[in-house]
Structure 1
Amino acid sequence: MSDQHYVKDSENAYSALCRCIDFVVIQVSLFFILYFQHEELTNLYLVVGLIASIGFVFAADSHNLYRSWRLGEFSRVASYTFLCWVAGIFSVVIFLFFSKTSLDISRLVIGSWMLFNCFALAGWRVLFYVFLFKRRRAGYHTKKVAIFGLTSSGELLADQFVNKPETGYTLSGFYDDRADTRTESKYTELVLGGINKGIELAKAGDIDVIYIALPLAAQKRIESVLRALGDTTIDVFLVPDFFTFNLLNARLSHVGAIQTISVYESPMTGPSRLLKRIEDVLGASLILSIIALPMLVIALLIKLDSTGPVLFKQLRYGLDGRAIKVWKFRSMSSMDNGDVIQQAVQGDSRITKLGAFLRRTSLDELPQLINVLSGSMSLVGPRPHAVAHNEQYRKLVDFYMLRHKVKPGITGWAQINGWRGETDTLEKMEKRVEFDLEYIRNWSISFDLKILVLTVFKGFIHKNAY
C-alpha cells in the first residue's frame, strides 16, 4: 500500500445524506411546479431534473458545500448554495440549447422551478441548522475542546467557541508551556497548565477535541505532541499560527496529491475574475454614457485654462506589479513621470487654477474609466501609485507590494476611509496599505458595490484632495 502523507479535504458524516436530500429536493420541487401548472410529466422533464441535480451536486462538491459547516457562517452556506444552483441551471440551459428541445417544455414551469429551488435548497439547510443549533445550545451533541498554544490563531479560534455556543464546542481551556509573563492575553486565566498536562487529560478521556495552535517555528514540538496524541482516540486538528503573516485569500490548493496552503494569492481567480471583469465593463460603460458630455466640457476648459495636453498619462504599477499608463485630466503645469516624483502638496504652485478644482473634486480621475474598459484597471481596487513612489515605499512598508495582487482601482476602501492624498508621513502610507490589504482579503461583488455607493457620498471631495 502506498504511503501518501497528504491532507484530505474534510467532509462531515452527513455529506452523503445532504447529497441525497439535495437530489430529492430538486426532483420533488420540479414535480410540485408541474402539478400546480397542470403540466404533464414527460421524459424530457425527468432528464432536465436529472441534469440539474448532477450539475448542482458537481458544483457543490467543487465548492466543498458538503464539508462540515459546524463552525461556518450560514450566510456563506446560503451563498454557496445559490452559486451551485446557478451551475445546475446553466447545465440545463446548455442541454436545452444543444438538444434543441427548449420549445418542448414550458418556460413558465422551468422559470418557476429555478426560482423556487433557490429558496428550497437553502430552506431545508436553514431548518436543519436551526434544529442542530437549538440542540447544541441545549447541551446536546457538545464536545469539550482544548487548545494547545496561546497564539494569535489560538485566540481567534477560542473566540469562535466562546461567541458561538450553537456550534456545540465548549472551550475547556488552553495548554501552553510558556510562562504567564510570555502569554499576555484575555485568555491567560484559561491556561490550565503545560501541554503535557493536556496530553494526560486527553489520554484520560477528559477532552474530546484538541486544536494544536503552536507557532510554525515549533515544528519539533508539534511533532512530539502529535506522536503523544497518537496514543489516544480523540480528534486532533492542526492550526498553524499563520497570522504572523499578512494572509491574502488563504485557502487549500493542490499540487497533484500534495495539498498546500496559499499565503499570498489574488482572490480574483476563475469565476471571481470573470464577475469582477463583468462588473468593470458594465459599470464603466454606464458611467461613461452618463458623463461623456461633461468630460468633453472639462477637456475644453483645460485647453482654455493652460497650455499643454488635455490628458496626462503616468506610469504606475498595475496587476502583478506590471507597469501601466494611467490616464488623468492634466491638472498641473508640469507632468512628472521619471524616477523621482514630487507628490502634490497643499498650495502646490504646479497645480493650475482649473486643476485645483478638478483635483479637489476628483474629476481629474474620470479618464481612468478608459483604463477600466481596456482592462488595466478596475472600478474598485487599491489606488495606483507612481512607479517612483512604489519603489520608495516597498522598502519601508511591510507587505506593500501585495496591493498589486489585484488590479488598481479608480476608488478604493482606503480612499473612502480618508487615507488619500499626500503621504507626508510613513504612517499615512502604512494605513493606506492596511486598508488596501483588508479590501483584498474581504473582496466580494457586494463589497465593491458598497465602496462605489460610499464613493458617491464621501469619495469625491475630501480635505486631503489637493
Structure 2
Amino acid sequence: MSDSMDRSPATLELALRVGDIVLLWLSGHLAYYVRFREEITQTLSPYAIALYLGCLLAYLILPNMEVYTAWRGRRPAAIFARLGLAWGLILSIGVLASFAFHIAPQLSRLWLAYWYVSGLGLLAVSRFVAFNIIRMLKNRGLYCKPVVIVGYGPTGRELHRRALENDWYGYDVQAVYLDPTQAGSPINHARLQVLPSLESIGDYVVANHIAEVWLTLPLTDSAHLLKLRNLLRNTLVDVRLVPDVDNVEILSSDIVRFFGFPTIDLNRPQIAGSHALLKDLFDRIFSAIALACLAPLLLAIALAVKWTSPGPVLFRQRRLGLNGRIFYLYKFRSMRHETVENVRQATSDDPRITPVGRFLRRTSLDELPQFFNVLLGDMSIVGPRPHALQHNEIYMRKLELYMLRHRVKPGITGWAQINGYRGETDTDDKMAMRVQYDIHYIKNWSFWLDVKIILLTGIKGWSGANAY
C-alpha cells in the first residue's frame, strides 16, 4: 500500500485552498507591478491591506462557492464561470469592506481589473493542472484508496456516486455488501464486487489491501454494527460510519465533540458558526448597497402610497424570526389602512388592496423595506419567507416539519419563491410544497446557493401569477 493512500482528502482540500490564496497573493503583486512598474514595499500601504483583505475573504468564501467540490463531468467553461463569479464576488465584497479602512478611494481601478484577470487565470490553470495530475496518478494506481461499502442502500449509493464525481480525492469503491433491509435498484456498476455475507468482509479487506470501510447501515441496525466491529478488529483498516438516515427528517448530521464524546447534531442547520457570520456580513453589505441605490425609488413609492390613500406609508407586522424570536417585518402599505391588520391572505381582485398597492404587490416592490430588516439583523437576503403568526399557529399543527423553517433567519427571497411557490397558499398542498423547498434550502445551504437564488430573483423578478 503506497504512502499516498495515507493522505487525507481534507488535507488535500486544505492544500488546494492554501495554494489558491498564495496564487491570489502573487497575482495581486503581479497586477501592481504591471500597473505601476514597481513592487509593493510598504507593509501597511492601501494595496497591501487590500491584498490581506482579499486573500482572507477568498479563504473564507471560496469553499462556500463549491469550487472545491465535484468537477468531473463539468465543461471547462462551467468551471471557469464558477471561478470567475466566485473571485468577482470576493473582490466586490473586499472593495466594499475596504471603505471601513478608508482605503477604497486610493485603490486603482485598473489594478483591481488586473488583479481580477490574473487571479482568475492562475486559479483556472492551477486547478486544471492539479486535477489532471491527480487523475493521472489515480489511473496509474499511485493515488488510490480502495474502499468497501457495507450497506448499499440510498446513503451508500449516494456516497458511491459522490466518490465517483470527486475522483480527485482518490477513492476507488471496489466492493459492496448489500444489507437485506436496504433493498434498492440493482447494482449496475460493472467493476463492483458484491460480497455475499458480513463474515466475508474481513477476508476481502485483508486480501485486497482495502484502505477504508464505509458503514452505511441504518441507525437501528446495532446488531450488525457490533458484529462488524468484531469482524474488523484485526484488519488495521480505517472505518467510517455514515449512518443511513434516509427515513429520518433531520437538518444535519455533523459529528462534533461534546464533553469529550462524539455526537451527531441532528437539528443544527448548515447556516451556523462561521457560515452564519459570513452570510450575515454579506447580507448587511448587500442591503446597505441596495438601499443606497434604491433610495430614489423608495422615496417615489413612499410618496405614491401617502398621496393615494390615507394612513402610514409602511405596514409592519409581527413575524417569527430565527429560532422563533418575534420581530416586526416592514413593507410598503398596499391595503387600506383599516384592513391591514386582517391577516387573511390576499387573493385575486381582493377589495382591500389599493390601486397603487396592487401594482406594488404584483411587482413585489412592497417588499423593498425589508432591506431595513436585514440591516437590523432580523432577516437575511435569502431564506424562508416569514408568515403571519396566525398562519404559523395553523400550519405547525397541519405540517410536521413546518416549524423547522425558523431554524434560520427568514429571507426577502428564497428557494421556494424562485421555484414558483410565492404569494397566496390557498391549499395545504401549496403550503406543504413551500415548506418542502424551504427545508431543502436549509439542509443544502451554501454561499453559492444564496448567490444563485439572488441572481435568479434578479432575472425572473419577484412578480408572478400568484403575486397579488
Q: TM-score, normalized by length of structure 1?
A: 0.72
* 1:254 Cα offset (Å): 4.5
Q: Does 1:236 align with 2:239?
A: yes
Q: Give, in whole Å, the separation in 2 of the partners of 1:24 and 1:464.
A: 49
**Deviations, residues 205-256 of structure 1 (Å, cap 9, x unaligned):** 3644321111122234323312321211333222122444445465454546
* 1:447 Cα offset (Å): 3.7
Match of 2:293 among 279, 283, 286: 286
Check whether the contact 1:176–1:195 (CA below 8 A) recurs between aligned residues.
no
Check whether the contact 2:280–2:380 (CA below 8 A) recurs between aligned residues.
no
Structure 1 match to 2:269: 265
CA 1:165–1:458: 2 relative to 1, 3 Å: closer
Tell me the SS of whatever aligns to 1:324: strand
* 1:391 Cα offset (Å): 1.8
* More divergent stretch after superposition (356-365 vs 108-117): 108-117
Q: Give, in whole Å, the separation in 1 of the partners of 2:238 and 2:171.
A: 13
Q: Give, in whole Å, the separation in 2 of the partners of 1:143 and 1:381.
A: 39
* 1:154 Cα offset (Å): 0.8
Q: Give, in whole Å, the separation in 2 of the partners of 1:355 and 1:28.
A: 53
Q: Does 1:185 align with 2:192?
A: no
* 1:319 Cα offset (Å): 2.0
Count matched residues.
Answer: 433
**Deviations, residues 323-353 of structure 1 (Å, cap 9, x unaligned):** 1222231425653658xx4333334444445
Structure 1 match to 2:335: 331
Q: Does 1:209 align with 2:212?
A: yes
* More divergent stretch after superposition (15-24 vs 372-381): 15-24
Check whether the contact 2:309–2:354 (CA below 8 A) recurs between aligned residues.
no
Structure 2 match to 1:452: 454
Check whether the contact 1:377–1:408 (CA below 8 A) recurs between aligned residues.
yes
Check whether the contact 2:155–2:246 (CA below 8 A) recurs between aligned residues.
yes
Tell me the SS of whatever aligns to 1:344: coil
Structure with higher Rg: it is 1
* 1:368 Cα offset (Å): 2.9
CA 1:407–1:335: 2 relative to 1, 3 Å: farther
Q: Relative contact order, CA 8 A, sep 6+: which one is greater?
A: 2
Q: Give, in whole Å, the separation in 1 of the partners of 2:254 and 2:336.
A: 45
* 1:358 Cα offset (Å): 3.6
Task: State the percentage of identical aligned residues.
Answer: 34
Q: Which runs of 5 or more structure 2 residues have no equivalent in the other structure?
A: 1-6, 73-78
Tell me the SS of whatever aligns to 1:241: coil
**Deviations, residues 239-282 of structure 1 (Å, cap 9, x unaligned):** 12244444546545454655544432251523332222222222
Check whether the contact 1:379–1:409 (CA below 8 A) recurs between aligned residues.
yes
Structure 1 match to 2:224: 221
Q: Give, in whole Å, the separation in 1 of the partners of 2:312 and 2:68.
A: 60
Q: Give, in whole Å, the separation in 2 of the partners of 1:285 and 1:464.
A: 29
**Deviations, residues 89-122 of structure 1 (Å, cap 9, x unaligned):** 99xx9xxx9xxxxx9xx99999978985675577
Check whether the contact 2:270–2:444 (CA below 8 A) recurs between aligned residues.
no
Q: TM-score, normalized by length of structure 2?
A: 0.72
Q: Give, in whole Å, the separation in 1 of the partners of 2:260 and 2:252.
A: 21
Q: Give, in whole Å, the separation in 2 of the partners of 1:446 and 1:26.
A: 20
1:56-455 maps to which residues of 2 (within 5 A)? 120=122, 123-137=125-139, 141-163=143-165, 165=167, 167-178=169-180, 183-187=183-187, 191-205=194-208, 207-248=210-251, 251-255=254-258, 258-263=261-266, 264-265=268-269, 267=271, 268-303=275-310, 308-328=311-331, 329-332=333-336, 334-335=338-339, 337=341, 341-455=343-457
Check whether the contact 2:380–2:410 (CA below 8 A) recurs between aligned residues.
yes
RMSD across aligned C-alpha pairs, in angstroms?
5.0
CA 1:199–1:63: 2 relative to 1, 3 Å: farther
* 1:389 Cα offset (Å): 0.9
Check whether the contact 2:339–2:352 (CA below 8 A) recurs between aligned residues.
no
Tell me the SS of whatever aligns to 2:329: strand
One-letter amino acid of the structure 1 residue matched with residue 228 of structure 2:
V
Tell me the SS of whatever aligns to 2:397: coil
Q: Give, in whole Å, the separation in 1 of the partners of 2:115 and 2:259.
A: 39
CA 1:176–1:237: 2 relative to 1, 3 Å: same
1:13-32 maps to which residues of 2 (within 5 A)? none
Q: Give, in whole Å, the separation in 1 of the partners of 2:20 and 2:132.
A: 18
